[in-house]
Structure 1
Amino acid sequence: MEKNIFKFKTNINCMGCVAKVTPTLNEISEIENWEVDVRNKDKVLTIETQSLNQNEIVAAVEKAGFKIEKITN
């Protein structure tokens, strides 16, 4: 199965925010890898998954209390 890489603009802007969202993203077994570039002005969250869709990722991040929007390529 092909791996999908999704990128999102977020308000996860510091290591404290990353720590807050980590348990939520780590408990989703379909996420193979994720990272937030807090140095980027858009605080880009990159997610690697084979089976999740973008809406499921958005719902999880919003549930953790953060804003997130899809970045179109």
Structure 2
Amino acid sequence: MTDIVISVFKTSICEKELIKLSSVLNQIDSIINWNTDLEDCDNILRIESEAIIADKVIKLLSGIGFFVEELLD
């Protein structure tokens, strides 16, 4: 069984951009699940994946205009 990697990001995502976000994240095969907490002041994006993909997520989302910063423990 593959270990699940959980990555948490501070973002600039807002509700009207969720379709745009979804189209990008759903292209990454190793993502098992993702969700957002837009009620949080940091507009949290949480991703469960089969691999370490934080750098890939940051690069992809930054490339389409989002601010994305990984939150570390």
The TM-score, its normalising length taken from structure 2, stands at: 0.89
Query: Does the aligned pair in 2 maintain the 1:31–1:47 contact within 8 Å?
Result: yes
- Rounded to whole Å, the distance in 2 between the matches of 1:22 and 1:63 is 15
Query: Runs ≥4 in structure 1, deviation > 3 angstroms?
Result: none
Rounded Cα–Cα distance in structure 1 between residues aligned with 2:50 and 2:26: 15
How far is the alpha carbon of 1:51 from its aligned partner?
1.7
**Identity percentage over the alignment?**
28
Q: How many residues align structurally?
A: 72
TM superposition score normalised by structure 1 = 0.89
Residue type of the alignment partner of 1:8: F
Q: Which runs of 5+ in 1 are unaligned?
A: none
Give me the CA root mean square deviation: 1.1
Unaligned residue ranges in structure 2 (runs of 5+): none
